[in-house]
Every structure is written in C-alpha cells, then in structure tokens.
Amino acid sequence: MAKLNFSNMKGKILSVTALLLCCASVSLGAVEYIRHSQGYYEAKLIFRLEASVEQWTSRFQFESTVQNFTVRVPNTQIFNASNAITYNFGSVGYFPIAVGEWAIDFSVAYQDTGSMPQLQLASFNGRDLDTGYIAPPTTTARPTKPPPSTGEHHYDEIIALSLEFYEAQRSGKLPPNNRIWWRGDSFLDDGQLNGLDLSGGYTDAADLVKFGFALVSTTTVLNWGLIDFLPGYNSANQTGYAEDAVKWALDFLIKAHPTSHEFYGQVADADVDHAWWGRPEDWDQGLRESWKITRDKPGSELAAEGAAAFASGYLVFRNRNSSYAQELLRHARELYSFADEFRGDYTDAIPAEGFYDSWSGYGDELGWAAAWLYRATNESKYLQDVNRHWTEFNLSRRADKFSWDDKKAGLQVLMGKLTREDKYLSPATQFCDYMKNTQQRTPKGLVFIQEWGSLRHSANIAFICLNLAELGVKSAEYREFAKEQIHYALGAGGRSYVVGYGENPPQRPRHRASSCPPRPSPCNRQNGLYNPGPNYYTLYGALVGGPGSQDDYVDDRDDYVRNEVAIDYNAGFQGALAALQKLKINGQLP
C-alpha cells in the first residue's frame, strides 16, 4: 500500500492512500488541487489505466465529517451525498473505460470554522497497487471558458490567475483563506536576529529572498492599477483579492519601517539563498539576516519608492479602511522626508548589488514619491518638490523603459494625469511613440527592451501607454498597441507565456515551491530544479521572463533569463489587464 503526501492549504499533510484496480495495471498520477475557498475545495484524482474496465466502484474516506461530497466522472451519474466520513460510489451500468489517463473529479464542502478535511483513503475496485508518484499533466489550463473565436481573451480570468500567483509568493503566516493548497507557513522567524518581526511580505522570484526595492516598486504599480482601473477589477470580481494582495505587501512594509529613519530593505542573504533549492516551508539554513537604511547609511531609492508604495496604498484604502489608510500616509510622509533629506544609494547599505542595482539613480524615485504624495494629499509643497526634482535630475528626458529601477515614464504620465500640463505629457507621449514606432521588436511583434524579462518590459510599456490613453492622448493608437503587446504574452505569438493559461503554456517555470514533489519526498536541486518533467504544481498566473529577440524560447527551469518568474513581472501586466477589462466592459476595446 503506497502513501502519497500532499501539503494542504494550512500546511498540514493531505494523505492519499491509493487502493487501485483489481487484475489490471494502474498508475496513480496525482491528487491535483483545482481551487479552494474557506469551507470548500475542488480536486481531482488522476491516474492511468493500462487495461480497460467495464464496471467499477470506488470509496473515499475522510478524516472528519464532510458536509457535502460530490463526484463527477465521465459516463457516470453525478454522485452527491452529505454528512459522512466515508462515501461509496461507482459506475451505473456498463460503460467501458479505455486504456489511458482517467480522472475522478470531486468537490468537498465542510464547516468553514474547521480545518480542511483530509482525504485518507481512495479505493478503486477494492484492490491496491503499490506505485510511485507521476507528475500530473499541466497542459490543460484554466480558465475553463474557451477563448472567443475572435482571438480575444477573458481578461477577468487572467487577472484572477495573476492574483493567485501573488498568493503563491506569500511568506509568513498564511491566512485561513489561503487558496494555494501546496503552500504553508514559512520564515516566521524573519527579523529575529534584529529584534523585530519581519515575517510576511512576498518572496521575490524563484528565490526566497525579500528584496525591498523590487517589493516596494511592485506594490506601487499594483496600487496604481487598482486606483485607476478599478472598474476592470470590479467587473472581474477580483477587487477584494487585489486589495488583499497589496495589503499583504503593505503590512510587511509597515513592520519594515519601525522608526522614521529606519527602513529594512532586504531579508535573507541572496548568495546563501541561491545556493539552496527546496520548499520555503523546509528552510534549514538557519536564521536569515536583514539589512536596513538609516541616517548614517541612507538609501534614497528605497525610501522614496517605499513612500510611493505607502501613498498609493493610502489612495486604495482611504474609502475602505480610513484608519489603516492614515497609517499608510504617515509612513509615506516620513519615508519621503527621509529619502530627500538623507541622500544616498541604497546598495551602499543593503547587499542587493548585482541583483537590484539602481542604475537610474534616486532622482526618479524622489520625483515619483513626491508625485504620489501630491496625489494623496493635494498639498502644494509636494507639487513644488516634484518640480524641484524635475529640474535637479532632468526628469523630462524620454525614458527607455518603465521598471522597478526607472520611474521616469510613470512620473511623467502620473503628473500629466494630475496637472494636464504639456511639460509632463510631452515626454510621456515621446516615450509611447518611440516604443510603438521605433523600439526594436521581435519578428512576431514583441517590443524588445532586453533579454532578461522581455515580457515584463513589454507589459510595463503597455501599462504606461494605457494610462496615457486614458488622458485622451492618441487613445485609439496606444490602446491598440498595448493590447497587441499583452496578447503576445497570452498567445498571439504562437504560445502562452502565462503559466496555466492558454495554448502550450510554460510547464517548467523557475520557481522553488512549485517545482518540489509532494511530501514526504525531499526537495532539492536534483528532483526540483533539474527534474526534466513539468513542475509538480501549476503556478497559475505567473508571467515568465519571456522570449529572446528572435522569439526564441525553451521551457527550461534552469533558464533564469527566460523562464524565471518574479513579483515585478506580474505587476504592470496585471494593471494592463485591468485596463483592457475596463475598456472591454465600456465597449472601447480596440
């Protein structure tokens, strides 16, 4: 009798004992999680028949009482029963099942005040087969609604998938409504070496480091999409999940800013982290170090972008949670003053050099932070500061990207939105015109900035130009351009680059947790990173780095340039999707 262990949504163990087919060879594929909300989950038992059968019976036994249990099987009546621990079901009449892959789809409802009922026994025709684990196929992707024949996409469902990716990146104590069943609590002792609680937040990419500069930038961009494309989120029924996503980041950032002139900008030594491969829940390399900026070792890029994240967060929550919003605004004011008064490069204080260097300097972040504070408060001193930084750092230059490093294009569009002045709108227009008409493209049309994270750059450009189009600047032209870039990522170039979505999506994204086999199997480089098969769990919604300049791409987990995922990759991408969804519901989609 073979036991297979799967982490459930609370980090506990979901034990599945396979008792399989009499007199026929059967290989158990997996119990694959589909979706979860508190009090309800859907899953499927996937296996392969090596010989056909005509009739069958099955028995599922749970650890505790299940309020409602439903099974959906091909060529079989739907089985539904309530308030039991053990359920017996099977075929009705003779419906031969051919050799090949087969699945039992089931759903479970339980008391939402209790823990997720653990499936302890699954039997098929009363006999067992000792077998190992076979990774489930991941080519069948959600969403289940077929794309329209016109070549359009269901933006609402892709937004939902992107938000699931952020949940998969959560660090710390997971909430009761965690939907990523194969993730559990992790790094609860972060900050202990510094005498404070730095648990929570998001791990950065494939790795498990919390890089502050990337995190604050991601948070600001996610907030911006929620603020200006809220109708897109509302119509997708994803506003609550999006607010949860940014609040998860903001709650951590509040803890990372314990005093007015201290801001923690990295948790974990990146070199130590990158030398280890495994589940976040299994970290065994000791307590993780944390680094901060101070008056003596300032970091204006980090502090200013943190101020922008807090100020934009204030705008997200001011009409929903006024006391929380006021706390965010206080942190924004303090961090901006710290960034402007005590100037310096943050990598002089924090060992992020070689990972998140600020090549653009800190002038763009100072202007960006002042602009967000002006939007949040309407106080003239912040407008004056924008113009001071605008001149001091020559922020009217045409940007060559919009990224976690370079905020000029975002600043120009944001100030154009707030003032409608040509001094801001003109360089923003130059940016979108250049990207649309002059910037290098791949043969299939992707705007190409650089090899590393090519899709992240094109999505960010789309997000900026969709924001500019909202102001009536070449609206039809920029919207068509942005839609073209987002659709490339969704499959217009011949394949999807969003995990779990569309045609031939990536199956081997570079990502630790999803690459690990189910417990109790260990996870390491050999069976995680270098496993030739698909990731054991589908990292729904993650945007991979993307193709090279010739549309070249190989679905290879070891390729960290093209196949890694990261929290900043999905930020502008998700905002652009919300913008397109807004246009769609308003009948303005090109």
Among candidates 360, 380, 385, which has minimal Cα distance to 370?
385
Cβ atoms of residues 539 and 500 within 8 Å: yes
Check residue 75 and give its pLDDT: 54
Cα 432 to Cα 368, 407, 409, 416, 477: the distances in Å are 19, 14, 9, 14, 10
Angle at which helices 322-341 and 363-377 cross, to 10°: 150
- Does the annotation mark 42 as catalytic? no
Cβ atoms of residues 210 and 253 within 8 Å: no
Cβ atoms of residues 297 and 349 within 8 Å: yes
- Decide: residue 63, CB within 10 A, 0-12 exposed, 13-18 middle, 19+ buried: middle
Among candidates 250, 252, 366, which has minimal Cα distance to 298?
366
Check residue 150 and give its pLDDT: 74
pTM score, two decimals?
Answer: 0.81
Check residue 104 and give its pLDDT: 78
Q: Which of 42, 400, 555, 559 is catalytic?
A: 555
Cβ atoms of residues 265 and 350 within 8 Å: yes
Helix runs in 30-87, H state only: none
Check residue 51 and give its pLDDT: 77
Cα 216 to Cα 308, 518, 533: the distances in Å are 8, 32, 34
E strand intervals along 248-407 = 263-267, 290-293
Q: What CA–CA distance (Å, rounded) separates 204 from 208?
A: 6
Going across the sheet that includes 263-267, the strands are 210-211, 263-267, 290-293
Residues 6+ apart with CB under 8 A from 86: 59, 60, 61, 62
- Does the annotation mark 63 as catalytic? no
Check residue 41 and give its pLDDT: 73
Phi-psi region of 341 (alpha: psi -120 to 50; beta: other; left: phi over 0): alpha
Cβ atoms of residues 228 and 372 within 8 Å: no
Tokens read off for 393: 């750092």
Tokens read off for 297: 């070792």
Check residue 52 and give its pLDDT: 80
The stretches in the chain having pLDDT less than 70 are 1-38, 47-48, 73-77, 93-95, 112-115, 118, 126-149
Check residue 145 and give its pLDDT: 60
Check residue 369 and give its pLDDT: 98
Check residue 521 and give its pLDDT: 83
Q: What CA–CA distance (Å, rounded) separates 60 from 78?
A: 15
Residue 106's SS3 state is: strand
Cβ atoms of residues 447 and 435 within 8 Å: yes
Cβ atoms of residues 534 and 138 within 8 Å: yes
Check residue 94 and give its pLDDT: 64
Q: What CA–CA distance (Å, rounded) separates 329 from 344?
A: 23
Stretch (H or E) spanning 111: none
- Torsion angle, CA of 546/356/534/485, rounded to 10 degrees? -20
Phi then psi for 296, rounded to 5 degrees?
-75, -30
Peptide bond into 143 cis (omega under 30): yes
Q: Degrees (nearest 5) of the Cα angle 263, 511, 2? A: 130
- Decide: residue 100, CB within 10 A, 0-12 exposed, 13-18 middle, 19+ buried: exposed
Check residue 89 and give its pLDDT: 84
CATH number of 2-124: 2.60.40
Residue 3's SS3 state is: strand
Strands 119-124 and 13-19: parallel
Q: Which of 164, 345, 564, 568 is catalytic?
A: 564
Tokens read off for 144: 């289940």
Domains in the chain: boundaries: 2-124, 439-590
Question: Helix (H) and strand (E) counts for the chain?
Answer: 15, 11
331-375 tens-digit pLDDT: 999 999 999 999 999 999 999 999 999 999 999 999 999 999 999
